[in-house]
Amino acid sequence: MRFSILGPLAVYTADGAAVPVGGLRLRRLLVLLLLTPGRTVGSERLIRGVWAGEPEPESAGNALQALASRLRRALGASAPLHGDSAGYRLEVDAGSVDLHRFEDLARCGRRARAEGRLQEADELLGEALALWRGPALSDLGETGGAADVAVRLAESRRGILLERLALRLDLGRHDDALPEIEALAAREPHDERSAELLVRALSAAGRQADALAAYDRLRRGLAEELGLDPSPHMQRLHLRLLRGELHSEPPAPARPEPPTEPAPPPARPVKRLPHILTSFVAREDEVVQVGGLLRDERLVTLIGPGGAGKTRLSIEAGGRFADERPAESGVWFVELAPLRDGADIPHALLAALGLSEPPGMSLSSGAPAAGGDIIDRVVDFLADRDALLILDNCEHLVAESAQVAERLLARCPRLRLLATSREPLGIAGERLLAVPSLALPPETTTARDAGDYASVRLFVERARAVDPDFALDEHNAEHVVRICRELDGMPLALELAAARLRAIPVAHLASRLSDRFRLLTNGNRFALPQHQTLQAVVDWSWELLDDAERTLLRRLSVFAGGAALGAVEHVGSQDAAIGERDVWSVLFALVDKSLVIADVAEDGGSEPRYRMLETVRAYGAQRLAESGEEPAVRRAHADYTLDLWTRADPHLRRTEQLSWLALLRQEHDNLTAALRWAIGRGEVSLALDLLHASCWYWQMGNSWADLVRLCGELLRAVGERPPADRIVAYAHCLAVHSLGADFNARDISVKGLLRAEELLAESGGRPEHHPGLLMIAMLLGMLGYDRTERSARLAETAADHPDPWIRAAAQLFGGLLALHSGEGGEGRRRVLTALERFRTIGDRWGTAHALTMAAGLYHLTDLDRELELLAEGDTLAAEIGVGGLRSQFRVRRAMGLAGRGRIEPARREIAEARTLAADSDTRLFCQVGAAEVEYAAGEYAAAREMVLALSAEVAAMNAVLRAQIEPVWLALRSRIAMALGDRDAALADAAAAWRMITPAMTGMPCADVLEQLAEVLHREWPERAAVLLGCAEAVRGLPNEADPAVVRVRARARGSLGAAAFDRAFAAGAATAPDRMGAWMDSWAGEGSPESAG
């Protein structure tokens, strides 16, 4: 979708169709969310903005929730709106909002102008201004958050307009710019910026008298209406005009005569900064940010961990500062890292400023003698200067650095200080700027996109310094991305890693970063000692810690995914080394020292999480292993993790599931770490408890493949005899592994499921008491093996369970069993009942799965309703963040759209589904869906290429999943082959598809395949097609009245046979047992000639 707020609010689909968003409050809500797309906006802020200028409703939170629901319906699945206790987030790309495109273009235009690329700057600013369609948000009233935004946007547009007009004058295009400048000056008679442009433009056009008159109008207006004089800048402009220094555009300059004496160079500010030999990469935004802070603040401290690039950033920002200052200004760099005594800081200042020691000064101590104080000497030098001092590496002398900074700022009113440190100086007026890691690419980033990330750009640039032929490509992108992520995007670590490419290929380098401290030891020999190896970088910070800080830092290394304060307190206070009441104060000290990062939500609503960069965590893990306390700390971590997941599990099936899911996803890595530790230590009871407590989380679609692998590891650790008091957990583990592991025979998978069922029965466990086991028991019923009746009884028992979620699930799975058993009417009733129950409970996951089944039922009767339910399911899947489930909804919608002839929208759904596909099985489903769409479009050759390309993947699938998808795949192959005229291949695939249908699957799956095979046969064998259609309706227990393909096949077969003959064949099929139908299919495939179904 596209959103326009630079004018009246407008929303458009990807096709350009307008999307109505009615109601003033609803439109205000949308605007407030569009200001920060993809980020949560706090509920309080939204309420203030939406109801500004009017009384807030009594239950503002509920009213906001109702508005959000209306907005979600208005926007649909193309712009997912997520909500939780903290606020709401509109999940759209910033590039789809014209405001953010305007800001990006303006930023690029300003940068181009600053770098002298004037023509490019003019074009970029012009593009930015062209996005405006009138006054911003003019249809949202004069009060409220949107009105405040409109004022800010108008001022921003005005600033860009003035910049572009000034740029036009710089380019000599005064004739083009003058009409707009005159109109602007007329609207704003007291604005000096527009008046300055008017004076310049008139002078450049040769209209000196008019230029003088324009200045005089400004002067009189300011004096008469505001009692002000023009600014000194305007007065200087007037003086230049009177002297003729502003004149009409000069002719093209002739070749200058060589001067008899070289002209003296223009005076420039002093710039005493280190000379850097390497290029400055990927920090442009931060340089601009530092420059902005230095314009407004007198003390700015860049804080961050060692190796973050603070020093390099300060040097670059200092150079830019000097370039923007008059000649009497200056920038000086003061390196504090070599100092060991705070008393030496004044001497370092003198040396950096190029000043001599006062007479009588003791060089060793800096104690004053008759000649006075060193600081007085520094103050005398800097007192009247517009100067910048960079104090680099203050962390080891932070108190002394703070004292010096405070004295200098108090006595030098025009002085600014830029400090770099791993912790704040902690004095009044200090403005902190955290220097972040360089932007990291996602794990799956391609070579084409990886270069957009700052960390990758830096690594590639430094790699080329040691190997000029190095280039990012599809062969090495995966390894480069891994290196950047493993090293946290830290510039120093990336530079050390790139230097290793002299001796080791990039793939090998990526695989060896687990031993990063031994590997990355090849720094610049002229660098400071603490910057020559990765180990030295972290050692430097470690040595500055006290005992309690060191203890907590190493204990924090067990948290693989960060931690909330409660978790830190539990794990950190294992003994008297740190009391539980003191953990938080030690933790905050580590945050101040840039060794721990506090991730705080922007709205401040959710609990902060504390994490370490991976390099710091690896260092802490080394120290933990050396301390001898690792087993106890990891056990405390596992115990805390088990308690959290045990408490969380029931909430995952209630209306509050979104906030709990968000929390557990943050804890996912901690869970995995605890499980692997317990398995590795042989703590099988603990491992089984962890897995059982977390199993529903995994089964909701959170890294199912990882769960299967962990179950396999745990089963091997347990062996043949599970602990007697953990039978339920063991059965759960065995069932999951049997369902998901890559067994190549379906019987082997089912054998494991049956064994799990037996163990559960022997122990007295009841599947209906455990949601995950209930699902697996239902699955056994669908797979057959004489378990259909047993599963049906289980569904009936669970239907009376006291837990409303179990009752809803029993309806859903009972409905599924009925549909698979040919009881279509009963199955439909149960599925729709389950859908309403899950909605009432508020379980989005259960509702989404009920919607998939309900949509399949409506495919038989009401295609519009089917698409509505699939769209609703996609929205719910987006809310719970399960990309694989979303992908399935998108594929189903694509096939529904394609069946109705809407090919292009169907292709877009497939493209979106592919981006959401979470695993190989989902990607295979996407490919089958894509082939269906191309088949519907008449692109039979393309469709055939797609399905044949899947042969190896289908053969390699897990046996249980293969049993579900292979019949569909073979039936599609058969239809495509017949469409291409390959009758023998079509019949062979049709027979093979039928053989894949098991005796137990006599309901919906069987009917779907029969109808597809009828499509294969109907042109040459209409009687056989009618038989298949009749059999399909009988085994499903429901008529298919709406599926476009089935309606088309039925009509053609009826037209070929005549109504009476069609009805006889249809009735014969309805009366035929499915097992006899299999024999017919085999005989038809062998015949290859049209005969009666007989």
pLDDT surpasses 80 at 748: no
Residue recorded with tokens 């004058």: 169
Task: Write down the pLDDT at residue 1027.
Answer: 92
Helix (H) or strand (E) holding 417, with range, is: strand 416-421
1087 or 638, greater pLDDT: 638
Is residue 418 helix, strand or coil? strand
Q: Which two tokens stand for residue 209?
A: 């008298």
Task: Write down the pLDDT at residue 365.
Answer: 37
Task: Write down the pLDDT at residue 211.
Answer: 85
For 502-506, 551-555, 690-694, 758-762, which range has the lowest pLDDT when averaged over its residues?
A: 758-762
Is the pTM here over 0.75, yes or no? no
Residue recorded with tokens 């799965």: 849
Helix (H) or strand (E) holding 10, with range, is: strand 10-12
Average pLDDT estimate for 403-412: 90
DSSP 386-397: -EEEEEE--GGG
pLDDT surpasses 50 at 264: no
Instruction: Sort 595 into a burial class: Cβ within 10 Å, 0-12 / 13-18 / 19+.
Output: buried
Amino acid code (one letter) for 757: E
* Confidence grade of residue 514 (pLDDT, cut at 50, 70, 90): confident
C-alpha separations of 620 from 319, 482, 641, 914, 965 in Å: 37, 21, 20, 40, 48
Fold match between domain 270-434 and domain 545-628: no
Quick count: other Cβ atoms within 10 Å of Cβ 917?
21
Task: Write down the pLDDT at residue 368.
Answer: 40
Task: Write down the pLDDT at residue 189.
Answer: 85
Average pLDDT estimate for 428-448: 87
Mean pLDDT of the chain: 82
554 or 504, greater pLDDT: 554
183-191: long-range contacts at Cβ-Cβ below 8 A with a sequence spacing of 24 or more? Answer: 185/214, 189/217, 189/218, 189/221, 190/218, 190/221, 190/222, 190/225, 190/226
The size of the chain, in residues, is: 1094
Q: Which two tokens stand for residue 65?
A: 């929730």
In the chain, % of residues over pLDDT 70:
84
Residues 6+ apart with CB under 8 A from 880: 657, 658, 661, 700, 701, 844, 845, 848
Average pLDDT estimate for 27-37: 85
Amino acid code (one letter) for 210: D
For 3-7, 77-81, 622-626, which range has the lowest pLDDT when averaged over its residues?
A: 77-81
For 535-539, 616-620, 820-824, which range has the lowest pLDDT when averaged over its residues?
A: 535-539
Asked if 861 and 1042 count as a contact pair (C-beta separation under 8 A), the reply is yes
DSSP 583-646: HHHHHHHHHHTTSSEEE--TTS-SPPEEE--HHHHHHHHHHHHHHT-HHHHHHHHHHHHHHHHH
Q: Where are the domains of the chain?
A: 270-434, 447-535, 545-628, 645-765, 972-1094
Average pLDDT estimate for 136-143: 68
794 or 814, greater pLDDT: 814
Task: Write down the pLDDT at residue 49.
Answer: 79
**pLDDT tens-digit map of 992-1043:** 888 777 554 567 888 888 898 899 889 889 999 999 999 999 989 999 999 9
Q: Which of 599, 281, 618, 291 is nearest to 439 (CA)?
A: 281
C-alpha separations of 507 from 167, 445, 479, 481 in Å: 48, 16, 5, 11
Torsion over CA: 797, 800, 806, 809 (sign): positive
905 or 52, greater pLDDT: 905
* Burial per residue of 681-698, b for 16 or more beta-carbon CB atoms within 10 angstroms, e otherwise: eebbebbbbbbbbbbbbb
* Confidence grade of residue 788 (pLDDT, cut at 50, 70, 90): low
pLDDT surpasses 80 at 358: no
pLDDT surpasses 80 at 691: yes
Average pLDDT estimate for 367-374: 44
pLDDT surpasses 50 at 835: yes
Task: Write down the pLDDT at residue 935.
Answer: 94
* Range among 112-116, 539-543, 984-988 with highest mean pLDDT value: 984-988
CATH 1.10.760.10 fits 545-628, yes or no: no
**pLDDT tens-digit map of 843-874:** 999 999 999 999 999 999 999 999 999 999 99
**pLDDT tens-digit map of 562-611:** 899 899 999 988 776 676 558 888 898 888 888 888 887 665 557 889 98
**pLDDT tens-digit map of 61-90:** 788 888 888 888 888 877 788 887 668 888
Q: Which of 467, 666, 562 is nearest to 480 (CA)?
A: 467
CA 311/CA 591 separation, integer angstroms: 20
**pLDDT tens-digit map of 168-190:** 888 888 888 888 888 888 888 88
**pLDDT tens-digit map of 867-897:** 999 999 999 999 998 888 899 999 999 999 9
* Confidence grade of residue 1090 (pLDDT, cut at 50, 70, 90): very low
Say which CATH architecture domain 270-434 belongs to: 3-Layer(aba) Sandwich (3.40)
